[in-house]
């Protein structure tokens, strides 16, 4: 049923698949239309704007992880792209649209966007279990909250998968823009051996890491540690024209005091 839909709709959505997420979504077409969606609008600054033009859940949190034995040794990996409400509160754990929850997605990604699929296996792996379960969780809980991906915005039937593919694609594009590992490495902040011996353990300060990332990305993230060991980095941003990030300050407090940044393998 699900894949029959996809096959039938490939023709129609070829255009959508090709268009950049930097373009505005609009109703009834995959082309940007400045008449429907004014250019230059930043999410959360225009409360009456059509929710297809800028997400009404418009404060975004992009969280990238540094997880033991997960992903390339010299890359952070994606946890997820999480839309929050403009006031900093967040949607329910069940996400924003039960009707668009999926229970399978990996084959759809693989068939429809093989390059994205390869990137997701590499850069968006689950640290503990099944990739598909992890991706589905991110879509069902968070992706359904990106109001611009509602199928009504591009006149697609619900449940044809395009909304989820667009969410994964958009998240991957942000991930590729922000190479945390390289940014830190350029400033000689590199992962070190895992030792609990305080005499030999290398630690970095929170300020040092934030400063490095601010120099490259123009924004400071929140840093999260497990027992003093760097675990996740979250950037907060609004979006301009539905994709371009406009950074804002983190709405969460750091949980790192000093940072042990430990080799993954």
**What is the C-alpha to C-alpha distance for residues 60 and 83, in angstroms, rounded to an integer?**
4
Residue 58 CB, shortest distance to ligand NAG, in Å, is: 18
Nearer to ligand NAG, 151 or 228 (CB): 228
Asked if residue 252 binds ligand NAG (CB under 6 A), the reply is yes
Interacting residue with ligand NAG among 89, 196, 199, 265 (CB under 6 A) = 196
**What is the C-alpha to C-alpha distance for residues 174 and 196, in angstroms, rounded to an integer?**
34
**What is the C-alpha to C-alpha distance for residues 101 and 34, in angstroms, rounded to an integer?**
31
The stretch near ligand NAG (CB under 6 A) out of 9-17, 104-112, 161-169, 246-254 is 246-254
Contacts with ligand NAG, 92-131, as mask; x by CB under 6 A: ----------------------------------------
Tell me if residue 166 is catalytic.
no
Coil, helix or strand for 103?
coil
Which one of the listed residues 60, 111, 137, 142 is annotated catalytic? 142
Tell me if residue 79 is catalytic.
yes
Contacts with ligand NAG, 201-230, as mask; x by CB under 6 A: --------------------------xxx-
Question: Which of 116, 146, 165 has the alpha carbon at shortest distance from 13?
Answer: 165
Asked if residue 253 binds ligand NAG (CB under 6 A), the reply is yes
Asked if residue 200 binds ligand NAG (CB under 6 A), the reply is no
Residue 104 CB, shortest distance to ligand NAG, in Å, is: 32
Contacts with ligand NAG, 225-244, as mask; x by CB under 6 A: --xxx---------------
Residue 142 CB, shortest distance to ligand NAG, in Å, is: 18
Which one of the listed residues 60, 138, 166, 232 is annotated catalytic? 138
- Answer yes or no: are the C-beta atoms of 62 and 235 closer than 8 Å: yes
Where residue 28 falls (left for φ over 0; alpha for ψ -120 to 50; beta otherwise) is left
Nearer to ligand NAG, 168 or 224 (CB): 224
**What is the C-alpha to C-alpha distance for residues 235 and 223, in angstroms, rounded to an integer?**
9
Q: Using H for helix, E for strand and C for coil, what is the string for 29-90?
A: ECCCCCCCCCCCCECCCCCCCCCCCCCCCCEEEEEEECCCCCCCCCCCEEEEEEEECCCCCC
**What is the C-alpha to C-alpha distance for residues 179 and 183, in angstroms, rounded to an integer?**
6
Tell me if residue 137 is catalytic.
no
Beta-carbon contacts of residue 19 (< 8 Å; ≥ 6 apart)? 30, 31
Q: Is the dihedral of CA 83, 233, 93, 119 positive or negative?
A: positive
Interacting residue with ligand NAG among 20, 45, 118, 194 (CB under 6 A) = 194
Which residues contribute to the site for ligand NAG (CB under 6 A)?
Answer: 68, 194, 196, 227-229, 251-253, 262
Active site residues: 79, 138, 142
């Amino acid at each position: 049923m699900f894949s029959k839909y996809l096959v039938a709709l490939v023709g129609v959505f070829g255009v959508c698949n090709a268009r950049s997420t930097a373009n505005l979504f609009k109703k009834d077409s995959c082309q940007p239309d400045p008449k429907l969606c004014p250019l230059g609008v930043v999410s959360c600054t225009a409360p009456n704007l059509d929710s297809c033009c800028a997400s009404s859940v418009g404060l975004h949190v992009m969280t990238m992880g540094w997880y033991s034995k997960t992903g390339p040794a010299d890359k952070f990996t994606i946890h997820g792209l999480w839309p929050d409400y403009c006031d900093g509160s967040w949607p329910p754990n069940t996400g924003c649209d039960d009707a668009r929850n999926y229970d399978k997605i990996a084959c759809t990604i693989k068939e429809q966007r093989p390059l994205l699929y390869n990137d997701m296996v590499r850069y968006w792996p689950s640290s503990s279990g099944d990739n598909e379960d992890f991706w589905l969780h991110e879509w069902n809980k968070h992706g359904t909250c990106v109001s611009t991906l509602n199928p009504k915005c591009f006149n697609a039937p619900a449940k044809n998968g395009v909304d989820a593919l667009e969410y994964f694609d958009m998240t991957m594009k942000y991930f590729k823009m922000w190479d945390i590992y390289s940014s830190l490495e350029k400033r000689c902040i590199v992962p070190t051996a895992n030792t609990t011996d305080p005499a030999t353990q290398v630690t970095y300060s929170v300020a040092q890491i934030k400063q490095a990332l601010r120099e490259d990305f123009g924004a400071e993230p929140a840093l999260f540690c497990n027992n003093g060991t760097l675990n996740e980095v979250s950037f907060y941003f609004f979006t301009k024209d539905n994709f371009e990030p406009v950074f804002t300050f983190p709405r969460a407090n750091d949980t790192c005091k000093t940072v042990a940044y430990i080799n993954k393998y």
